[in-house]
Copies of this chain bind each other. A is one copy, B any other.
Amino acid sequence: MSKKQPQGAPDQTDQPAAPHLEVIPLGGMGEIGKNITAYRYGDEIMVVDGGLAFPDSHQMGIDLIIPRIDYLQQHAGLIKGWILTHGHEDHIGGLPYILPRLPRVPVYGAPLTLGLVREKLAEFGLREGEIDLRDVDIDTNEKVRIGTHFHVEFIRMTHSIPDNAGYILSTPAGKIVHTGDFKLDEEPSDGKLSDLHRIEAAGKEGVLLLISDSTNAERPGRTVSEAEVARNLEEVIRNCRGRVFMTTFASNVHRVQNVINIAHRLSRRVVMEGRSMIKYAQVAQSLGYMELPEPFLANDEVGSLQDQQVLYVCTGSQGQPMSVLSRLAFGNHAKIALRRGDTVILSSNPIPGNEEAVNLVINRLYEIGVDVVYPPAYRVHASGHGSQEELATVLNLARPKYFLPWHGEPRHQINHARLAQTLPRPPKRTLIAKNGDIVRVSEDDFKVTGTVPAGAVYVDGLGVGDVGDDVLLDRVNMSQEGVMIMTAILHPTPHVEIVSRGFVRSNRELDAQIRKVALEAVEQGMREKKRLEDVRDDMYGSVRRFVRKVTGRNPVLIPMIVD
């Protein structure tokens, strides 16, 4: 069978006789996070990105989430190459887990993107040679061939990280435009505009399929420009009399560069605080994406400066408990203490799920008495994703026959689809796809023909995939009601010990009652000479009913019998 595979019987994933193009999103479709997309034509697969996602509130204790790649592992021999659109975690953060599990193929990306990947691989102890990273130049629309069927032309798109790319993919089935993450910033910090010319040109040649960023499909108008944010930041900082502490996403290199320039103009020296802020700045500097008019100061060197001569750029825009800003807000930073007269600028919005943590930090900052500056009262942040007008511009230029709204939850995908229908030349067909869908696309056809395994692999501590939904369900249950362990010791005299965690404050009377109920069940079972498993189940049932009745709760009960 294995030798015959290319000609084998067609099934959901194997290759039937007549080659056609399949788009197979393995992450990032119907969600925001862990982007990874496979294209298959005949016996060739090309992959785009390999991101991670962060857990929601029910995925307790999980560090991060990577996409399932069963499909890629099952067809590992067909993978001809990989391209990366940009260096955000939701596009490259899964690579250290994914790439080592697959054959070594060329991985193409822009210099900053690959610089961040290299940094990441080094953190995971992967040697450079194990992964075949190849720089491409977005500015010259560098083209790469992957396998024999995939011709990729990189196109610059503005976003909240430099070197962000979309691409035009030419295949025997037709031309695909994938925007990647984008906004259409008319005043990008590096002066490099989105390459709408190439999208327009592709549109004139004929675009079979457009895959476009849906993140802000519910937002009317245009997303604010990075230059506007910089002007507003400068205005705020100019009016500060004391020290300034500014936080943003560490990966937003342009924003950080702008703040460095503002600080220089306003005669403030910059101190970088926080591991990820320093890491991104180092990678960006080393590759020429960040220029320092003056070197950064270390915090120890600040002593001689006056308050209005200092600006700290620090981590913590999402209220992360160990970040610099959180430590400052809660007064447990080892070296720096905030005080009245300081200004803290959150040049960021909370990502969904982080609202509570960010709100806590903001309230603590107010309590300290510092001035706190954040959106929307101050327009010191802009999304990296285009709003409805920008999405419409791309749709109008690309004039695709078919349309896949991507990089969004169903609400974003469907509003993106509706937007497309309002335009002068709406797509002939739009699909709302999900991770794992096999989307077949040709001039005559655009439909989901099957599915492949897709979903989440949980990374927890050193474990990858050893925590599943069953384990998470136990965590959720214990978080709600606590756990109680009942150990029945049968010899020499039967007795029961009770230990609980997260249930109620230790309560001798309640414990004694529970021990009594448990012991009665055990003794009755022994009198009736039941099997030990049955005695254990009886004890479990009796205690469950009793605890529910007297406390109204259902702790996770763990019964044990020691014979």
A residues near B (Cβ < 8 Å) are 56-57, 60-61, 218, 220, 352-353, 355-356, 359, 362-364, 366-367, 372, 377, 409-411, 414, 460-463, 466-468, 470-472, 474-476, 478-483, 485, 487, 489, 497, 499, 501-505, 507, 550-553, 556, 558, 560, 562
Residues of B near A353 (CB, < 8 A) are: 355-356
Q: List 20 A-B contacts (CB under 8 A).
A: A60-B502, A61-B480, A61-B481, A218-B377, A352-B359, A353-B356, A363-B410, A366-B410, A372-B411, A463-B553, A468-B505, A470-B505, A471-B505, A475-B479, A475-B480, A478-B501, A478-B502, A485-B485, A487-B487, A499-B560
Q: How far is the CA of A363 from the CA of B412 in the complex (A)?
A: 9
Q: Does A556 contact B501, Cβ atoms closer than 8 Å?
A: yes
Report the nearest B residue to A220, measured CB to CB: B377
Report the nearest B residue to A470, measured CB to CB: B505
- Interface majority SS on A: helix, strand, loop or mixed? mixed
Q: Please judge, given known A-B contacts A366-B410, A552-B462, whether A505 and B467 are in contact too, CB under 8 Å.
A: yes
Which of B461, B482, B505 sits near A551, CB closer than 8 Å? Answer: B461
Q: Does B479 contact A61, Cβ atoms closer than 8 Å?
A: yes
Q: Does B562 contact A503, Cβ atoms closer than 8 Å?
A: no
Residues of B near A409 (CB, < 8 A) are: 359, 363
A60-B479, A61-B481, A487-B562 given; 4 more Cβ-contact pairs under 8 Å: A372-B411, A461-B552, A471-B503, A499-B558
Q: Does B411 contact A366, Cβ atoms closer than 8 Å?
A: yes
Report the nearest B residue to A357, measured CB to CB: B57
Residues of B near A551 (CB, < 8 A) are: 461-463
Q: Please judge, given known A-B contacts A61-B479, A479-B476, A550-B462, whether A356 and B501 are in contact too, CB under 8 Å.
A: no
Kindly provide the distance from the CB of A528 to the nearest chain B CB, expressed in whole angstroms. 24
Residues of B near A56 (CB, < 8 A) are: 356
Q: Does A504 contact B411, Cβ atoms closer than 8 Å?
A: no
Residues of B near A475 (CB, < 8 A) are: 478-480, 482, 502
Residues of B near A550 (CB, < 8 A) are: 462
Residues of B near A377 (CB, < 8 A) are: 218, 220
Q: How far is the CA of A551 from the CA of B63 in the complex (A)?
A: 13
Q: How far is the CA of A173 from the CA of B462 in the complex (A)?
A: 65
Q: Please judge, given known A-B contacts A355-B355, A362-B411, whether A553 and B460 are in contact too, CB under 8 Å.
A: yes
Which of B466, B468, B479, B505 sits near A479, CB closer than 8 Å? Answer: B479
Which of B414, B461, B474, B497 sits near A560, CB closer than 8 Å? Answer: B497
Most chain B beta-carbon neighbours within 10 Å: one of A353, A502, A556: A502
Q: How far is the CA of A502 from the CA of B59 in the complex (A)?
A: 11
Q: How far is the CA of A504 from the CA of B220 in the complex (A)?
A: 45
Q: How far is the CA of A471 from the CA of B502 in the complex (A)?
A: 4
Report the nearest B residue to A479, measured CB to CB: B479
Residues of B near A461 (CB, < 8 A) are: 551-553
Residues of B near A505 (CB, < 8 A) are: 466-468, 470-471
Q: How far is the CA of A61 from the CA of B550 in the complex (A)?
A: 17
Q: How far is the CA of A470 from the CA of B352 in the complex (A)?
A: 29
Report the nearest B residue to A476, measured CB to CB: B479
Residues of B near A61 (CB, < 8 A) are: 479-482, 502
Residues of B near A558 (CB, < 8 A) are: 485, 499, 501
Residues of B near A410 (CB, < 8 A) are: 363-364, 366-367
Residues of B near A460 (CB, < 8 A) are: 504, 553
Residues of B near A476 (CB, < 8 A) are: 479
Q: Please judge, given known A-B contacts A353-B356, A499-B558, A501-B558, whether A411 and B363 are in contact too, CB under 8 Å.
A: yes
Kindly provide the distance from the CB of A105 to the nearest chain B CB, expressed in whole angstroms. 30
Residues of B near A489 (CB, < 8 A) are: 562
Q: Does A474 contact B502, Cβ atoms closer than 8 Å?
A: yes
Residues of B near A507 (CB, < 8 A) are: 466
Q: How far is the CA of A61 from the CA of B552 in the complex (A)?
A: 12
Residues of B near A503 (CB, < 8 A) are: 471
Report the nearest B residue to A218, measured CB to CB: B377
Q: How far is the CA of A462 from the CA of B546 in the complex (A)?
A: 13
Q: How far is the CA of A369 from the CA of B359 in the complex (A)?
A: 34
Kindly provide the distance from the CB of A381 to the nearest chain B CB, expressed in whole angstroms. 16
Q: How far is the CA of A471 from the CA of B479 in the complex (A)?
A: 10
Q: How far is the CA of A507 from the CA of B470 in the complex (A)?
A: 14
Q: How far is the CA of A410 from the CA of B483 in the complex (A)?
A: 36
Report the nearest B residue to A550, measured CB to CB: B462
Q: How far is the CA of A352 from the CA of B358 in the complex (A)?
A: 12
Report the nearest B residue to A467, measured CB to CB: B504
Residues of B near A480 (CB, < 8 A) are: 60-61, 475
Q: How far is the CA of A164 from the CA of B550 in the complex (A)?
A: 38
Residues of B near A560 (CB, < 8 A) are: 485, 487, 497, 499
Q: How far is the CA of A504 from the CA of B483 in the complex (A)?
A: 16
Kindly provide the distance from the CB of A497 to the nearest chain B CB, expressed in whole angstroms. 7
Q: How far is the CA of A355 from the CA of B502 in the complex (A)?
A: 26
Residues of B near A367 (CB, < 8 A) are: 410
Q: Please judge, given known A-B contacts A462-B550, A552-B463, whether A356 and B366 are in contact too, CB under 8 Å.
A: no
Residues of B near A364 (CB, < 8 A) are: 410
Report the nearest B residue to A462, measured CB to CB: B552
Q: How far is the CA of A38 from the CA of B427 in the complex (A)?
A: 64
Q: How far is the CA of A489 from the CA of B461 in the complex (A)?
A: 30
